[in-house]
Each structure stands twice: as C-alpha cells, then as structure tokens.
Structure 1
Amino acid sequence: MFTGLVQTTGQLQRRSGGVTLQIPPGSELDPAQLALGDSVAVDGVCLTVTERSASGFQADVSEETLSRTTLSAKADRGGWVNLEPALRLQDRLGGHLVSGHVDGLGHVVAVEQQSASWALRLRWQDPAFGRYICEKASVAVDGISLTVAGCSADGSEFWIAVIPHTWSSTTLQHLERGTAVNLEADLLAKYTERLLQHGASGSGPSTAPISDAWLKEHGWS
C-alpha cells in the first residue's frame, strides 16, 4: 500500500526479465534502506525489489504489467519515473490510499502554466473508468496522489491543479500533450461501488436496492 506522495524520481532501464532503477545520489529514497522483497511504486506500479546496489535496484516485471502500463515505453528509452516505497503502519497518510495496481492508461489533453500552478487536463483511455471520477476526488497519476479540480459529465476527462512543489519534484514537469500516463482511481470509490452492487444483487446481507427512499429510511436526507 502507498500514499501517492513521491519520494524521488529515478531512471528506468530495461533488462532481461525486468527493469533496473537508477536513483540519483542524495535522493530522499536511499537504495541502502531497501531490502530484497520490498515493494516500491514505480510510476504508480507496485514492483518488488529483487536486487539492489549502491545506485538503485532491480525488479522483475511481467509481460502483463508491461503491456498494461507505460513502463515498457519508458524502459526502452531510459525514461524517468516517480518512486515511492511502501507505506509503513507508523507513517502519516498525507495523500490517499494507493494500491499500486494501475486501473488503466490515460493521456494528457492539455498542460497550461498559470500564475501560481499548472493546470493538467487528462482523459481515460477507457471512458468507463470515468465513473470513479468526481470533483474533489482523489486519483493517482503516475503514482502521484492528486485531487480532481473538475471533470466532464461522465468523468472520462478531468483536470487537476498542480502546485509548484509537486510539479518540480515529480515527472509531471515532463508531460506534454498526448503523453500516456498510468491512472489508478480511488480505492474507496471502487469498494463502495462493489458493495452497493453486491447488496442490490441479493447475494449480500442486505438485498434492498439503493434508492432515495432507502437512504431516507437509513438516516440520509
């Protein structure tokens, strides 16, 4: 489990059976603090450390993961990625709960520099995932916890205001129109949808459909 608060960026290289991450010296994430088997979010993709060195670590990546995320294209060109080690129980949850399991790809529709921030507009590759997006909701973009500033009626296109610190300390600064990104919707939205579907289907503890009358009966006005 992760928070979406990126600790540093690293350079991704392909190797046989996986990838290698090179972390710049002096970064907040020290490779010496990683152990074999540790989980690290790489552009929002949860990977397991299989080897480590003074300058980084290696991880195995399945063809499934490579085909469903941006890691393959970035590894081929030595691209930069966002890195975050797994959340510890005593850590502060400054972002939101991020699983490191990418839901789907999106692409950049527009990037606009404003007086005190950047406006980033994104679109889901699969519009169906738009149902998890609403104003002020959380979303992970390449592993970065961000807040939705607004969205289209179906949520398939949404926009985000990015503060200077986040812009300069992550790979967001390299984005341009048409760039592909890894997207993970808020876990709470997905679990809520599943629970409501489960109850309405008659297989859960409550078989009553969710309606305005049901909500009022259970204290919602």
Structure 2
Amino acid sequence: MFTGIIETLGEVKHLKKEGENLHITIASGLNPELKIDQSVAHNGVCLTVVALENDAYTVTAIQETLDKTSLGELNVGDKVNLERAMVLGARLDGHIVQGHVDQTATCQNVEEKDGSWIFTFTYDASLNNVTIEKGSITIDGTSLTVVDSKKDTFSVAIIPYTYENTRFNAYKKGTTVNLEFDVIGKYVAKLMKLNT
C-alpha cells in the first residue's frame, strides 16, 4: 500500500531482458534503506527488490506488467518516481494507492499557468475506468486531484514542487504514463455494474 507521495527520483542504470522478464537496476538515495523482498513503487508500479548493490538495486517486471504499464519504454538514464510502502500509523498525505496500474494514458497537452502547469491526458475509456472532478488519480505513482474530467480525458494542476521533484518536468505531448484510478471509485463502479 502506498500514498502517492513521491519520496525521490531514481535513475535507471541497467536494463536486462531475461525471457519475458525485464530486470531494472536503479540508483537512488533510498538504496541504503532498502532490503531484499521490500516493495517499492516505480512510476506507480509496485515491484519487489530482488538484488542490492552499493549504490543501486534491482527489481523485475514480468510480461503482464510490461504489457499494462509504461515500464517497457524505460531507457538507461531515465528518471523514475519512487515511493516505499507506507508505514502503518503514519499520515496518509496522498490517498490510498495500491501500486497496481489500471492502464496507461498519453499526455495531450502541457500548459504553463503563471507558476503552475496544467497537464491533460487521454486514456482508453472502453476499459471502464473513470475520473471525477476533484477526485483522486495516480499518475506514475503521484497522487493528484483531477481538475477537469471527461469520458476519456482529464487534467491535473501541478505546483512547482511537484514539477521539480517528480517526472512531470519530463512530460511532453505524446508521453505515456501509468494510471491507477481511485480504488474506492473502482469498487463503487463495480458494485453499480453488478446491481444493474
């Protein structure tokens, strides 16, 4: 379980394909605090630490993960949003995030607004995921509030701190991102579908 509050950015140091799996080695300031078997969200995808080195650690993404997320598009040198699992009893500053990506979206527009930015994304609405204005959405692991919501499009407003300390400063038109829709909203939508 995560909160969607990004702790730091990591950098992809090595990518190794083995069968259908992709081993991703990442350098980050979190490395001294990590241990093998620990869950860490990478651009919103919960992956298990499988190896530790002095300044980097490795996680493995299976084919299903690569098919449903943007992790297969990573290159050496790319920055990755990182968050360790939440600690029970700590504040939940973002919202409840599972680290289970529902689908990807494409950045359609980036608009600078006198000290902040509005990012607009489109996604495949046929998968029955929805956003609502003022509702929560997770983009590459970052907990955000939806500003504008349409059937297959939504926008979020990004403050300077988030812009500077997450991957948002690298997004441009055409960038693919991971989406995790609000878990409470997903359960409500499922219950409504069952009752119709």
Q: Which residue of 2 is the match for residue 22 of structure 1?
A: 27
Partners of 1:73 and 1:160 lie apart in 2 by: 23
Shift of 1:35: 1.4
Partners of 2:17 and 2:129 lie apart in 1 by: 38
Unaligned runs of 5+ in 2: none
Q: Which residue of 2 is the match for residue 92 of structure 1?
A: 91
Q: 4+ residue runs of structure 1 moved beyond 6 angstroms?
A: none
Percent identity between matched residues is 36
Secondary structure in structure 2 of the residue aligned to 1:36: coil
Q: TM-score, normalising length from structure 1? A: 0.82
Shift of 1:157: 0.5
Unaligned runs of 5+ in 1: 202-221
Partners of 2:128 and 2:157 lie apart in 1 by: 18
Shift of 1:108: 0.5
State whether structure 2 residue 100 is matched by structure 1 residue 104. Answer: no
Note the 1:30-45 alignment, pairs <5 A: 30-45=30-45
Shift of 1:16: 4.0
Note the 1:37-186 alignment, pairs <5 A: 37-74=37-74, 76-124=75-123, 126-129=124-127, 131-152=129-150, 154=151, 156-186=152-182
Partners of 1:148 and 1:129 lie apart in 2 by: 19
Counterpart contact for 1:52–1:58, Cα < 8 Å: yes
- The aligned length equals 191
Partners of 2:149 and 2:131 lie apart in 1 by: 7
Partners of 2:72 and 2:120 lie apart in 1 by: 23
Q: Which residue of 2 is the match for residue 219 of structure 1?
A: none
Q: Deviations over 1:180-212 (max 9, x none)?
A: 1111100000011223334x26xxxxxxxxxxx
Shift of 1:67: 2.1
State whether structure 2 residue 190 is matched by structure 1 residue 194. Answer: yes
Partners of 1:98 and 1:70 lie apart in 2 by: 18
Partners of 1:163 and 1:40 lie apart in 2 by: 24
Q: TM-score, normalising length from structure 2? A: 0.92
Shift of 1:148: 0.3
Partners of 1:136 and 1:85 lie apart in 2 by: 26
Shift of 1:116: 2.2
Counterpart contact for 1:108–1:123, Cα < 8 Å: yes
Counterpart contact for 1:8–1:84, Cα < 8 Å: yes
Partners of 1:51 and 1:134 lie apart in 2 by: 40
Partners of 2:102 and 2:73 lie apart in 1 by: 18
Counterpart contact for 2:25–2:57, Cα < 8 Å: yes
Shift of 1:136: 0.3
Secondary structure in structure 1 of the residue aligned to 2:86: coil
Secondary structure in structure 2 of the residue aligned to 1:168: helix
Shift of 1:130: 6.4
Partners of 1:147 and 1:83 lie apart in 2 by: 19
Q: Which has the higher strand share?
A: 2
Counterpart contact for 1:130–1:157, Cα < 8 Å: no
